[in-house]
Structures are given as C-alpha cells and as structure tokens.
C-alpha cells in the first residue's frame, strides 16, 4: 500500500509489488489488491515519462506494459492473470465465485475486456501500432471510438439489472469494468446515457478500496 521501489536483486518474498501507471488499465489490479486488505507495494511506473521503457522495467516486463505483479521472485503480467491470481491467493476476499463454471465466466469476461475494448482504446491512442500510413490515422481513430462505444453499450446491457458485472456478487471483473468507464468518459463518450453502467460506476465509487486507489493514483479519469 506504500509507494516504494523494489529492492535491488529482487522483490520481497511475501509482499506482491504491483507496477502501475495512473489512468492505465493497471487500475483494475490496483483496486483488487486494495480490496484484499493484505499488504502490497504499489510502484508508480509513469507511461507519460516512458518509465515502462527503462531497462529496469523491461527486466520486469520485457513487453513494456503495465500492470505487472512481482510475487515470490516471479512476475505475472496481464490483468486477467493478475486479477485471477489475487482472487485465488486471497480466497477470504471472495473476489471470484467458487463455482468453476461461474469462475470461468468471469475469466472469459476479463479476456474480452483485454482483447476487445482495450484494443479499440489502443487503436485510438496508438494507431501507429496498426498501420504505417499516417494519413489513415484519423480513420482508424474514428472507427476505434465508434467500436469502443459499441463495447460500452454491450457492457451496459450485460450489467442490466444485476447488482454487479457478473451478478449479485462483487468480483475482480468489477474493477476491470471501471477502467473502461473511465476511459469512455475521458474519450468524451456519453457514458451517463448508459444507466446500468453508470449505476455500477457510482457503486464502485462508494467502495473504500476504490476511492483509496483512485486518490493514491490521482487517477485522471475520475476527477
Ligand atoms: N492485455 C494487457 C494490456 C496491457 C497494456 O497494454 N497496458 C497499457 C496501459 S493501459 C500499457 O502499458 N501501454 C504502454 C504501451 O503500449 O507502450 C493487460 O490487460 O494487462
């Protein structure tokens, strides 16, 4: 829960280190760790200052992405895996259902977050990862935003009358869903028109762990 650089030569054997950047998708893993109430270290790794491209960080995650979670001398990348690890390592926090099929449905939802709306967000901000020709960047951005909006409508319909994203119970899928709400707002999309997703966002904001992490990150998407 404190910001601290990892010790040289490795990471503490029993306290996970989360590498995050304010405003990035690492918010989901950051909130989930906070929800457990267990000790961890949050290490700010600013994308805006290219801190994810330093040799030190590339030694942690050679792909140069956040989040990364260092635990027991090993590194886990990908929100879907980190969130699943958090829920599995701290079962008392009840962040994933015990029922195997329901648990896999949660993992499927997180995989979709990672492979669909996140990719449209990436296409908007990093079109150079998709095409060489700069003259088509604006087309890519426009299509990325409209496709992102379709994803937001899909999430709104999935929540529907559920209390949380996956049903009655709060799970690690909920903080992941919050990431996309924040990005939608910052992208100028009419997120307020999505009644279920907006209610979900307000419920998230009532959670002490969510408020604490947003404040610690000084998260630009929730001001
Ligand atoms: N699928 C990965 C995506 C990780 C990712 O792309 N993170 C972004 C921040 S939201 C990042 O580090 N971007 C830096 C870059 O693309 O250079 C996950 O869900 O963890």
Nearest CA to ligand 1 atom 5: 65
Compute the distance between CA of residue 196 and CA of residue 165 in angstroms, rounded to an integer.
10
Q: Is the CB of 119 under 6 A from ligand 1?
A: no
Q: Is the CB of 67 under 6 A from ligand 1?
A: yes
Q: Measure 161 CA to ligand 1 centroid, in angstroms.
A: 31
Q: Which fold has domain 100-207?
A: Glutathione S-transferase Yfyf (Class Pi); Chain A, domain 2 (1.20.1050)
pTM: 0.94
Concatenate the DSSP letters of all residues of the chain into one string.
Answer: -EE-PPPTTS--SSS-EEEE-TTSTHHHHHHHHHHHT---EEEE--GGGTGGGSHHHHHH-TT--S-EEEETTEEEESHHHHHHHHHHH-GGG--S-SSHHHHHHHHHHHHHHHHTHHHHHHHHH-GGGT-S-GGGHHHHHHHHHHHHHHHHHHHHHHHTT-SBTTBSS--THHHHHHHHHHHHHHTT--GGG-HHHHHHHHHHHTSHHHHHHHHHHT-TT--
Domain 2-93, CATH = 3.40.30.10
Q: Measure 186 CA to ligand 1 centroid, in angstroms.
A: 17
Q: Measure 67 CA to ligand 1 centroid, in angstroms.
A: 7
Q: Is the CB of 156 under 6 A from ligand 1?
A: no
Ligand 1, pocket-test mutation among 25, 125, 175, most atoms within 8 A of CB: 25
Tens place of pLDDT per residue across the chain (223 aa): 333 444 434 444 579 999 999 999 999 999 999 999 999 999 999 999 999 999 999 999 999 999 999 999 999 999 999 999 999 999 999 999 999 999 999 999 999 999 999 999 999 999 999 999 999 999 999 999 999 999 999 999 999 999 999 999 999 999 999 999 999 999 999 999 999 999 999 999 999 999 999 999 999 999 8
What are the residue ranges spanned by the domains of the chain? 2-93, 100-207
Q: Is the CB of 24 under 6 A from ligand 1?
A: yes
CB 118 within 8 A of CB 144: no
Write down the pLDDT at residue 223.
87
Tens-place pLDDT, residues 67-126: 999 999 999 999 999 999 999 999 999 999 999 999 999 999 999 999 999 999 999 999
Do 2-93 and 100-207 show the same overall fold?
Answer: no
Write down the pLDDT at residue 62.
98
């Amino acid at each position: 829960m404190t910001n601290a650089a990892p010790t040289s030569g490795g990471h503490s054997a029993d306290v996970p280190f989360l590498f995050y950047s304010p405003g990035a998708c690492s918010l989901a893993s950051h909130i989930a760790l906070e929800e457990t109430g267990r000790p961890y270290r949050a290490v700010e790794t600013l994308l805006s200052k290219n801190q994810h491209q330093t040799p030190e960080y590339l030694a942690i995650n050679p792909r140069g992405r956040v989040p990364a979670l260092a635990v027991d001398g090993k590194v886990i990348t990908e929100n879907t895996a980190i969130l699943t690890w958090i829920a599995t390592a701290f079962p008392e926090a009840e962040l994933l259902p015990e029922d195997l099929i329901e648990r896999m449905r949660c993992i499927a939802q997180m995989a979709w977050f990672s492979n669909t709306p996140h990719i449209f967000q990436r296409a908007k901000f990093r079109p150079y990862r998709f095409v060489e020709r700069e003259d088509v960047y604006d087309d890519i951005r426009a299509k990325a935003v409209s496709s992102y909006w379709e994803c937001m409508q899909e999430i709104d319909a999935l929540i529907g009358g559920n209390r949380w994203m996956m049903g009655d119970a709060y799970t690690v899928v909920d903080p992941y869903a919050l990431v996309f709400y924040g990005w939608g707002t910052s992208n100028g999309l009419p997120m307020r028109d999505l009644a279920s997703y907006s209610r979900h966002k307000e419920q998230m904001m009532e959670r002490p762990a969510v408020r604490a992490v947003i404040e610690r990150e000084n998260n630009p998407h929730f001001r």
